[in-house]
Amino acid sequence: MSVDPRIAALIPHRNPFLWVDRIISSRPGFIITEKDISHDLDVFKGHYPGQPVLPGVLLCEAIFQTGALLTSLMRSGRPEEQSTKLPVITRIGGARFKRMVLPGDTIQMEVALKETILPAQFFKGTVRVNGKVALRIDFATTLVEPEKNPPTT
């Protein structure tokens, strides 16, 4: 399945590091997204050969990108907040991994805004697979201006 074109308009993430395919629903302070976990992801070649499991850090990234989408959607209704600023992770806490995500699964991410204390936003996120919790995590972001001339390697 292809990626929802709204996503590219809302966050800067692109393949191969885009971990959200669809926005299922959203309202102020809350969003649900999905990602289909393809059998042919390169990560499965090494994690683990013969017994592929999606790394937990990528589940976290899917939640963080969903949080970035929520932030962008909330700012889109307020022209005074439109800018080139990017939400970056400033805090991760309480990650609890409950079950594995395997090739062929579809994960559903829910992110809720808990609190805003400018310039930070605090979120609670959940990843579900087959309707069951795979990850619960709290995280915070801060909006920052991107570097005008990022270093190249």
Rounded-to-integer distance, Cα 84 and Cα 26, Å: 22
Considering the candidates 22, 47, 75, 99, report the single residue annotated as catalytic: 47
The 10 Å CB-count burial string (b at 16+, else e) for 113-147 is beeeeeeebbbbbbbbbeeeebbbbbbbbebeeee
Task: Say how far apart CA 132 and CA 101 lie, in whole Å.
Answer: 11
| Sequence-distant (≥ 6) Cβ neighbours of residue 69 within 8 angstroms | 7, 10, 11, 20, 23, 26, 31, 33
**13 among known catalytic residues:** no
Sheet (strand 132-144) strand order? 22-27, 30-36, 106-117, 120-129, 132-144, 86-97
Task: Cite the active site residues.
Answer: 47
